[in-house]
Structure 1
């Protein structure tokens, strides 16, 4: 029985495509006696798609922010909020953002969960603990935050560890009793275990044990263990756990694997034989099954994922087909999928409530243990001044002295250095000009500067400083460069053929001035202060230019126009003016939204005052999309996003990005009421610009 993927996944998928993550099915199986088992509803990922998603190997929600604290000298504070619930705050000054720019990073632990934030560092302005808590929306306290300097806290080493089940199933086995009763595996299964990790002896094992006995051999003699991207992984392998001939249900094996959130099922046999289903395993705890089959004919592994329907979507999506001939690539993909799957499962209501209770108990216990020390320790501070008798003037010497003081009182600094996967990487730290805008061109970048004109990144001048470019788009498939240059009444849109620019540079080293661009002006755009193009364009390029309160819609008459056929270097004649639309206020941000048919259902998103509106391109009718409830609004961007043929908008303002679906359309009227797929997220600092 299959149900609509949009109904089942719509409330959880956000901007994920249901194409990549399968449908939700009610899985039913029968045991050897013919009894029917209903395992519940599972999302099935089998990679049966035409698209081949790219595996990026990034772990979701990896705790790099926390790793900074485990590897650096940091400050810790405890207090109680207005409801008398204890909280715990850690703060570190770090420049580990690849930009050599110091910033404060803070983690706040409360019973409801953790909150992480980054704040700018200023050498002239002291940042207080209360100002950090205020940035985390904590302004009222029953007991104000007080610093604790306990050496044991600084010595803690952080590592997020995982235990996964591995169940061996022979060809034709359809019940969990049969699978758990396999005393040994096969040659192919042993080969798979060697791929997963190392075989370790449990007796005397000092690493992460995943609940296995390392003293008395009660859970077997050996197990499979590995370390992946800083995570310790222990595998509960069914054939390595104790086997009992008298116990048909193999309770000892089920006790471990049945209590794993994620279980790998290695099933022998070819594709036509009976396949594993989650309903074959009687467990209320396991939420994700990874079905692995090995094909000895082409030495490949095939992967299929079953996820209980309450588990949020997690990546990476399976390739199509989900067959891996590169075994190391398969190992990386599988481990990332398993880790992300367990982290996603912890967000389900069942685990979230348990985790909240556990976190609350830990924080209360920590608070009770540490509060007595506050009355005895004279090193307490309320702001980020250094714990030194005489504070050196040099910031570097101050930090060195501070670390020495921490070591003196028994606190250790680790040399571990971790980079966050999402942190920006410095592309160039020596570019001599301020960048106004840029766009990629082939393998390079076309950059508009504030004082030196426009140049290709490797210092090849394209336009001189007489033409001040404020916006640009490069459309390589259409051989077009679109720019908005100058300001005020002199501002206009210019259009160029990329091929003509390239030939001018190669043949004559031509650097164009404003005079050289007269033939490239779109004259009716005089006074234009903003423009936008349709990024999802198919056969027709559309441009909307804002001239104060007027919107001018422009299209290209010949989208596949050939420069050779025309004999002209300027594409200006290819553009035609369609209509004008009047607004009540000048737009600050714009985006074009393509309708599903392109027949009277294309829209323009505009932002002004305290709102985002949708304007119908054909009729000029306006629809309220989103109202901003804030005294001051800094509009950043509106980005059109398309998923499964449906349009949505990412509305960015102040510290917030708000995703709102605007399709499907009802005739020419967009359906923009609240949708379960709408979501929002916040930035630690207000961005200047956001692009796709």
Structure 2
């Protein structure tokens, strides 16, 4: 058995050395050859497989993915915050305080209810999922027992104050940052010390090209996104920087040549202050592979644990990558290919950014950072417990017995409990929204474009449009605009598409599907029309006559006569569905062809591609509608409708209605119901204005 274990250990060691390099003692010296510093680093230079031939750019791609993504770690934000759940406080047998959060949810579990629980202790957090059974109750004691906690100095009591959600969110944020700051150091060929590298006032053309690959150049003054410790008010840390968003993570790069330069200060303290305090630093070194090689010991920093050495080869337009990791950093992927040369620049960017993010996450697990994080967590838990101690002594916390069923509220004072839960949810949702807007939300909720825009930031298409707009939708770089006086017009360039006899009241441009959907006319003459965008585009290019209502007979969806409202599903992961409201009747329509692929048929009109599925009767005509995709798409798609003083959910398959939200007001003006999706799970943003009457 021992020999087998030793053999397994040897093989694991061989695998680690082959794919992640070996630990080496690296020594740096000055220009005179005197030894300056030494350090032990794991050197990754590509998996060594001598038997395989190598051609640049033809390496077999390894899995390039982020490790420990936030949807695995940020449970409280995703599953608890803004939802009805229970929070408890107690002390264990060693008199150390702990917090327990429990929620009953079917989110991300194919609509099968389950308990999720988080135990917050000084040693870290523990997460567990437990099955839900309507016939078998689950107690707080059984949950703690499943987490190996059976003895207590003070049994858990429920915390009813909704503000506890803010404190628990702070505890969860100790698991690691959502956003990252990385150093970028420019080194000329032959430079051997950090003083020389930090004193490079400007970078080369190749270095600027590399920065463009990393991200966008942004102006720091007034910057509203993640700033990574840089000054965005007074330009004390430079005027510009490099920023990007990768898979939801905001990344700010501390670029040595963009940070303030001082001719009098040879050590360039201001530059070192930022880059020297980055956990991960990219070193872009000029020169070919035969020139002097960078060593981490050249950089005087006790904080930087990972160096990514990047070299650019002008001859074949490729980048070479080498990774140095301080020996205490756990292994992290993806492993470098053999040879670590990238001719596809976008592929190199993806690989590099994933490697950097994974590297920083791995570094946070080293003893130095883990102990610091544990001390911080312990301090926060004890501080929060002390804040709650007066309530414990005053018996203001709810002492539920261990046998209480978690999702049930006390039968007495039911209305009071419901009001408390409503306030609890309201405060949690406000906190969640604030976290998202601030940019500190987990990656699944952060914009993944190259430059994150504020939610309210507008884009101007046309500043002097001469007509009052009824509705519009974007088409390429232009807008398709409907007016009562001039019909439908394309803005850039301004070209009429339909004349005013085609009185369009609603429209959707679906470019991937080559479709334009409109609702035209009103009253009994109203109908839905469907057009192929390609056909419209050809008509515009060939400067054919402007279409009128008479020219669109073949584009009518006949059964939609009298339609006063329609909606389509916006989630592009399923087939196109349309629901048309004809007074109190809903007509469900789908496109025959799966997915949203454009169908190459000979006919100019796509009417034959649509089929009528079923009718659903309501008690009142809807004024707002939204289609919501279910997690499986099998009998769980829903229609959100607004009428009178309420929003209801209608099951598309059965027609069953469920009360979603009731507005207690004298008059309600419904604005919209917007479906949003997070990791495939649907949510609804309900928008309305209301008026109240007050008696004085």
With structure 1 as the length reference, what TM-score do the two structures score?
0.53
In the TM superposition, what are the counterparts of 1:504-519 in structure 2 within 5 Å?
none
| Partner SS for 2:508 | strand
Per the TM alignment, residue 239 of structure 1 is displaced from its structure 2 partner at its CA by: 1.3
Per the TM alignment, residue 46 of structure 1 is displaced from its structure 2 partner at its CA by: 0.6
Name which of structure 1's ranges 15-24 and 118-127 shifts more when overlaid on structure 2. 15-24
Question: How far, CA to CA, are the matches of 2:349 and 2:544 in structure 1?
Answer: 51
Name which of structure 1's ranges 174-183 and 585-594 shifts more when overlaid on structure 2. 585-594
Name which of structure 1's ranges 275-284 and 397-406 shifts more when overlaid on structure 2. 397-406
**1:361-408 Cα distance to aligned partner (Å, 9 max, x none):** 121122223444567897846479999999799999999999745335
Question: How far, CA to CA, are the matches of 1:6 and 1:379 in structure 2?
Answer: 53
- Equivalent pair of 2:138/2:406 in contact (CA under 8 Å): no
Residue segments in structure 1 that go unaligned for 5+ positions in a row: 412-417, 455-459, 655-679, 685-692
2:638 is matched with: 603
| Partner SS for 2:19 | helix
Per the TM alignment, residue 245 of structure 1 is displaced from its structure 2 partner at its CA by: 0.7
Question: How far, CA to CA, are the matches of 1:390 and 1:537 in structure 2?
Answer: 37
Name which of structure 1's ranges 569-578 and 329-338 shifts more when overlaid on structure 2. 569-578
Question: How far, CA to CA, are the matches of 1:41 and 1:112 in structure 2?
Answer: 29
- Equivalent pair of 1:73/1:92 in contact (CA under 8 Å): yes
1:440 is matched with: 474
Name which of structure 1's ranges 396-405 and 482-491 shifts more when overlaid on structure 2. 482-491
Question: How far, CA to CA, are the matches of 2:51 and 2:618 in structure 1?
Answer: 43
- Equivalent pair of 1:80/1:143 in contact (CA under 8 Å): yes
| Partner SS for 1:259 | coil
Per the TM alignment, residue 77 of structure 1 is displaced from its structure 2 partner at its CA by: 2.2
**1:420-472 Cα distance to aligned partner (Å, 9 max, x none):** 99999999999999999999999999999999999xxxxx9999999999999
2:458 is matched with: 424
Per the TM alignment, residue 511 of structure 1 is displaced from its structure 2 partner at its CA by: 63
| Partner SS for 1:563 | coil
**1:592-613 Cα distance to aligned partner (Å, 9 max, x none):** 9999999999999999999999
| Partner SS for 2:336 | coil
| Partner SS for 1:29 | strand
Question: How far, CA to CA, are the matches of 1:279 and 1:536 in structure 2?
Answer: 51
The reply to whether residue 63 of structure 1 matches residue 70 of structure 2 is yes
1:46 is matched with: 45
Per the TM alignment, residue 36 of structure 1 is displaced from its structure 2 partner at its CA by: 0.6
Per the TM alignment, residue 345 of structure 1 is displaced from its structure 2 partner at its CA by: 1.5
Question: How far, CA to CA, are the matches of 1:37 and 1:16 in structure 2?
Answer: 33
- Equivalent pair of 1:169/1:268 in contact (CA under 8 Å): yes
Question: How far, CA to CA, are the matches of 2:612 and 2:338 in structure 1?
Answer: 44
Per the TM alignment, residue 131 of structure 1 is displaced from its structure 2 partner at its CA by: 1.8
Question: How far, CA to CA, are the matches of 2:101 and 2:209 in structure 1?
Answer: 45
- Equivalent pair of 2:140/2:404 in contact (CA under 8 Å): no
The reply to whether residue 561 of structure 1 matches residue 596 of structure 2 is yes
**1:580-631 Cα distance to aligned partner (Å, 9 max, x none):** 9999999999999999999999999999999999999999999999999999
Residue segments in structure 2 that go unaligned for 5+ positions in a row: 55-65, 74-78, 167-174, 430-451, 489-494
**1:53-103 Cα distance to aligned partner (Å, 9 max, x none):** 999xxx22233244x345755432222212121222222333334533222
- Equivalent pair of 1:148/1:373 in contact (CA under 8 Å): no
Question: How far, CA to CA, are the matches of 2:594 and 2:565 in structure 1?
Answer: 23
CA 1:451 to 1:232, structure 2 compared with 1: closer, same or farther past 3 Å? closer
CA 1:486 to 1:302, structure 2 compared with 1: closer, same or farther past 3 Å? farther
Name which of structure 1's ranges 11-20 and 108-117 shifts more when overlaid on structure 2. 11-20
Question: How far, CA to CA, are the matches of 1:406 and 1:591 in structure 2?
Answer: 27
The reply to whether residue 73 of structure 1 matches residue 91 of structure 2 is no
Per the TM alignment, residue 241 of structure 1 is displaced from its structure 2 partner at its CA by: 1.4
- Equivalent pair of 1:126/1:384 in contact (CA under 8 Å): no
Question: How far, CA to CA, are the matches of 1:53 and 1:449 in structure 2?
Answer: 66
Name which of structure 1's ranges 84-93 and 15-24 shifts more when overlaid on structure 2. 15-24
| Partner SS for 1:374 | helix
- Equivalent pair of 1:53/1:317 in contact (CA under 8 Å): no
Question: How far, CA to CA, are the matches of 1:682 and 1:118 in structure 2?
Answer: 47
Per the TM alignment, residue 298 of structure 1 is displaced from its structure 2 partner at its CA by: 2.5
Question: How far, CA to CA, are the matches of 1:376 and 1:523 in structure 2?
Answer: 70
CA 1:603 to 1:419, structure 2 compared with 1: closer, same or farther past 3 Å? closer
**1:345-372 Cα distance to aligned partner (Å, 9 max, x none):** 2222222222211111121122223444
**1:496-540 Cα distance to aligned partner (Å, 9 max, x none):** 999999999999999999999999999999999999999999999
- Equivalent pair of 1:642/1:648 in contact (CA under 8 Å): yes
Name which of structure 1's ranges 367-376 and 239-248 shifts more when overlaid on structure 2. 367-376
Question: How far, CA to CA, are the matches of 1:162 and 1:204 in structure 2?
Answer: 20
Per the TM alignment, residue 282 of structure 1 is displaced from its structure 2 partner at its CA by: 1.3
CA 1:537 to 1:376, structure 2 compared with 1: closer, same or farther past 3 Å? closer
CA 1:90 to 1:27, structure 2 compared with 1: closer, same or farther past 3 Å? same
Question: How far, CA to CA, are the matches of 2:229 and 2:592 in structure 1?
Answer: 69
CA 1:475 to 1:311, structure 2 compared with 1: closer, same or farther past 3 Å? farther
CA 1:628 to 1:232, structure 2 compared with 1: closer, same or farther past 3 Å? closer
Question: How far, CA to CA, are the matches of 2:473 and 2:284 in structure 1?
Answer: 47
Name which of structure 1's ranges 543-552 and 189-198 shifts more when overlaid on structure 2. 543-552
- Equivalent pair of 1:392/1:398 in contact (CA under 8 Å): no
The reply to whether residue 488 of structure 1 matches residue 523 of structure 2 is yes
CA 1:647 to 1:73, structure 2 compared with 1: closer, same or farther past 3 Å? closer
- Equivalent pair of 2:16/2:22 in contact (CA under 8 Å): no
1:249 is matched with: 267
CA 1:410 to 1:503, structure 2 compared with 1: closer, same or farther past 3 Å? closer
Per the TM alignment, residue 558 of structure 1 is displaced from its structure 2 partner at its CA by: 51
Name which of structure 1's ranges 42-51 and 508-517 shifts more when overlaid on structure 2. 508-517
- Equivalent pair of 2:38/2:297 in contact (CA under 8 Å): yes
The reply to whether residue 322 of structure 1 matches residue 340 of structure 2 is yes
| Partner SS for 1:37 | strand
CA 1:242 to 1:513, structure 2 compared with 1: closer, same or farther past 3 Å? closer
Name which of structure 1's ranges 223-232 and 460-469 shifts more when overlaid on structure 2. 460-469
Question: How far, CA to CA, are the matches of 1:647 and 1:401 in structure 2?
Answer: 25
CA 1:117 to 1:421, structure 2 compared with 1: closer, same or farther past 3 Å? farther
- Equivalent pair of 1:5/1:23 in contact (CA under 8 Å): no
- Equivalent pair of 2:516/2:532 in contact (CA under 8 Å): yes
- Equivalent pair of 2:305/2:326 in contact (CA under 8 Å): yes
Out of 125, 141, 150, the residue aligned to residue 136 of structure 2 is: 125
- Equivalent pair of 1:90/1:106 in contact (CA under 8 Å): yes
Question: How far, CA to CA, are the matches of 2:234 and 2:596 in structure 1?
Answer: 78
- Equivalent pair of 2:23/2:41 in contact (CA under 8 Å): yes
* Number of equivalenced pairs: 641
Question: How far, CA to CA, are the matches of 1:649 and 1:4 in structure 2?
Answer: 60
Per the TM alignment, residue 312 of structure 1 is displaced from its structure 2 partner at its CA by: 1.2
- Equivalent pair of 2:162/2:423 in contact (CA under 8 Å): no
Name which of structure 1's ranges 222-231 and 183-192 shifts more when overlaid on structure 2. 222-231
With structure 2 as the length reference, what TM-score do the two structures score?
0.52
Name which of structure 1's ranges 189-198 and 492-501 shifts more when overlaid on structure 2. 492-501
- Equivalent pair of 1:17/1:643 in contact (CA under 8 Å): no
CA 1:582 to 1:292, structure 2 compared with 1: closer, same or farther past 3 Å? farther
| Partner SS for 1:565 | coil
